[in-house]
Chains A and B, each alone.
Chain A
Amino acid sequence: GEDVEQSLFLSVREGDSSVINCTYTDSSSTYLYWYKQEPGAGLQLLTYIFSNMDMKQDQRLTVLLNKKDKHLSLRIADTQTGDSAIYFCAKQAPSNAGKSTFGDGTTLTVKP
């Protein structure tokens, strides 16, 4: 997606932390989402954060938002082989109700 950018690949060792990064444009208030897609499957919503928040934690997942730099990150603690998937960052703005803009996805590979 042209408004949302992600690095394409990340490789980590099992048990390490993974950090997947995303940058976005558009200064209006927005929700930012992280989705996980395993091979041959649909998208699974992992978590989301509103653009006036700094951080959100949900079990092994931590989302950090740098509003000034429009930089979003997803940290996965104690990464497992089952976390291997493509992770999409997406944004949704009120002016485009129902439309989400997706990044190109980051392929996370977890090595045992």
Chain B
Amino acid sequence: DTEVTQTPKHLVMGMTNKKSLKCEQHMGHRAMYWYKQKAKKPPELMFVYSYEKLSINESVPSRFSPECPNSSLLNLHLHALQPEDSALYLCASSHGGAGFYEQYFGPGTRLTVT
């Protein structure tokens, strides 16, 4: 199984809502990532979890709150978002640890903030 799954596929939320994005992988990977991608642009790294610990936070606003409950799951909690946060949110996973490991991406959650 080389699949990363993400739910929901689409999400529309108001600026006062609280919602969560979910990501799951069963490849035994120990590193998981959140990216934000605007249309026609490359993905921008937001967070990296390595062995369930947050290892990289790319100065992301606190209205985005990541959580890694276990090695297979990654959540992104959203609160008080702005319209400019509308984007495709991609989750990825890799083997983790030292060295180079290719990342496997999920299909993404298309988020619209109204």
Contacts and interface: CB of A to CB of B under 8 A. Distances in A.
Interface of A: 1, 31, 33, 35, 40-45, 48, 50, 86, 88, 92, 94, 97-100, 102-105
B100 A103 contact: no
Interface of B: 4, 6, 31, 33, 40-43, 45, 48, 50, 55-56, 90, 92, 94, 96, 98-100, 102-108, 110
A81 to B, nearest CB: 20
B45 to A, nearest CB: 6
Contacts of A40: 110
A contact patch SS: strand
Contact of B102 (A1, A33, A86, A103): A33
A26 to B, nearest CB: 14
A45 B45 contact: no
Nearest to A107: B40
A45 B45 CA distance: 16
B48 A99 contact: yes
